[in-house]
Chains A and B, each alone.
Chain A
Amino acid sequence: MEVVVNGKPEQTEDGSTIASILEKRNIRKEMVAVEVNGEVVKRDDYDSLVLKDGDKVEFLFYMSGGAEKR
């Protein structure tokens, strides 16, 4: 099936979850907020939420603005 991740279509296996896509991309779940079809998904649901063909997934990265030495 195809899901749209951060605006780009991507082939993924049936049964993929938020957690499995994060893992495939090597993104730790603590580093992002996740939206599916415009709704924020709770971190506790990353394992159980099974994606459907055509779902739009957004991984929104925490950004502190840190160019400075802290």
Chain B
Amino acid sequence: MLDFTEDQIKRYSRHIILSEVGGRGQKKINDAKVFMVGAGGIGAPVGYYLVAAGVGKLGIVDSDTVELSNLQRQIAHSTDSVGAYKTESAKKTFEGLNPDVEVVTYNERLSSENIMDLIKDYDIVVDGSDNFPTRYLVNDACVLSNKPLSSGAVFRFDGQATTIIPHEGHCYRCLFESPPPPGMVPSCQEAGVLGVLPGLIGLIQATEVLKLIIGKGDLLENYLLIYNALEMSFRKVKVPRNPNCPVCGEKPTITELIDYDEFCQMRF
């Protein structure tokens, strides 16, 4: 029999009674190690629900501190934690929810120097970053180290999510081969997002992570899920693996990590 405590059997009972999860699947969740890039709009709900589900270890990297303007959507933080590191604030919230989970925090900025080392002890990576340099860095690092990646992004009323299983399905560069030129993409000119939107996209990512862990269902592998809140529309667009992809293709030209410059220096 699987060695759950009485409390764990109660805590995870609604998982355990699902035949697709069961005691065995719950044990896999309890043993899983997930690395989260960002403890912001997406990271907060992803982390919250993965901790509720009982993942064994949750690593969080973020160098930002909590600001009042974050609280409209970054639900792992509270009014009291304004000024604190987002990682520490999230850790406090998550540990209050589920003491089973080991929450490990990294108060640093991801770069080509540290990412490989940071992710190496984790099974799955979740990207909830807010900038292109990080998004490409995380994709490339996951492809080069062969780690599954759940990637998500939001803007205004739109969201995207996809799941990358390196060398099996597509990667971010198979579709978006290289970053857009600085200042070209509207996120640089105007900031704004409906507060619930990263929650919705984040929970789609958390769902993908749980499915990856228990090995059930169909992933967003080779698909980009596109959501629009105003139309309340979900579209799954097929994204084929690109044999000419610069990082996961047959003749890769990117064999080491790149630190792109910040795309947009505008402050708000």
> How many chain B residues have a CB neighbour from A under 8 Å?
48
Decide: A40 and B191 in contact? CB cutoff 8 A.
Answer: no
Q: Which of B52-60, B100-108, B118-126, B127-135 forms part of the interface with chain A? A: B127-135
CB of B166 within 8 A of chain A? no
- Contacts of B185 on A, CB cut-off 8 Å? 31, 62-64
Decide: A64 and B135 in contact? CB cutoff 8 A.
Answer: yes
- Contacts of A69 on B, CB cut-off 8 Å? 191, 267-268
Cβ-neighbour of A65 out of B153, B177, B226, B267 (below 8 A) = B153
Interface residues as binary, B139-164 with A (CB distance below 8 Å gives 1, 0 otherwise): 00000000000001111001110000
Decide: B187 and A63 in contact? CB cutoff 8 A.
Answer: yes
The chain B residue sitting closest to A43, CB to CB, is B177
Decide: A65 and B175 in contact? CB cutoff 8 A.
Answer: no
- Contacts of A28 on B, CB cut-off 8 Å? 184
Decide: B187 and A66 in contact? CB cutoff 8 A.
Answer: yes
What's the minimum C-beta distance from B198 to chain A, rounded to whole angstroms?
Answer: 7
- Contacts of A35 on B, CB cut-off 8 Å? 237-239
Residues of A37-70 whose CB lies within 8 A of B: 38-40, 58, 60-70
Decide: B160 and A66 in contact? CB cutoff 8 A.
Answer: no
A-B contact count (CB 8 A): 98
Decide: A63 and B158 in contact? CB cutoff 8 A.
Answer: yes
What's the minimum C-beta distance from B155 to chain A, rounded to whole angstroms?
Answer: 5
Decide: A67 and B198 in contact? CB cutoff 8 A.
Answer: yes
Residues of B180-202 whose CB lies within 8 A of A: 180-181, 184-188, 191-193, 198
- Contacts of B176 on A, CB cut-off 8 Å? 33, 60, 62
What's the minimum C-beta distance from A41 to chain B, rounded to whole angstroms?
Answer: 11
Interface residues as binary, A3-30 with B (CB distance below 8 Å gives 1, 0 otherwise): 0001100000000000000000000101
Decide: A66 and B130 in contact? CB cutoff 8 A.
Answer: yes
Decide: A63 and B155 in contact? CB cutoff 8 A.
Answer: yes
CB of B47 within 8 A of chain A? no
The chain A residue sitting closest to B132, CB to CB, is A64
Decide: B267 and A58 in contact? CB cutoff 8 A.
Answer: no
What's the minimum C-beta distance from A65 to chain B, rounded to whole angstroms?
Answer: 4
Known: A69-B191, A69-B268. A64 touches B237 (CB 8 A): no
CB of B73 within 8 A of chain A? yes
The chain B residue sitting closest to A65, CB to CB, is B153
Decide: B237 and A58 in contact? CB cutoff 8 A.
Answer: yes
Binding site for A on B (CB under 8 A): 40-42, 64, 73, 128-132, 135, 152-155, 158-160, 174-177, 179-181, 184-188, 191-193, 198, 224, 226, 235, 237-240, 242, 262-265, 267-268
Besides A65-B154, A68-B64, 12 more A-B contacts (Cβ < 8 Å) are A31-B184, A31-B185, A35-B237, A38-B238, A60-B176, A60-B226, A61-B155, A65-B153, A66-B188, A67-B154, A67-B187, A68-B130
**A–B Cβ pairs within 8 angstroms, 19 of them:** A7-B235, A31-B180, A33-B177, A62-B176, A63-B159, A64-B132, A64-B185, A64-B263, A65-B41, A65-B129, A65-B131, A65-B153, A65-B154, A67-B40, A67-B41, A67-B155, A69-B191, A70-B130, A70-B265
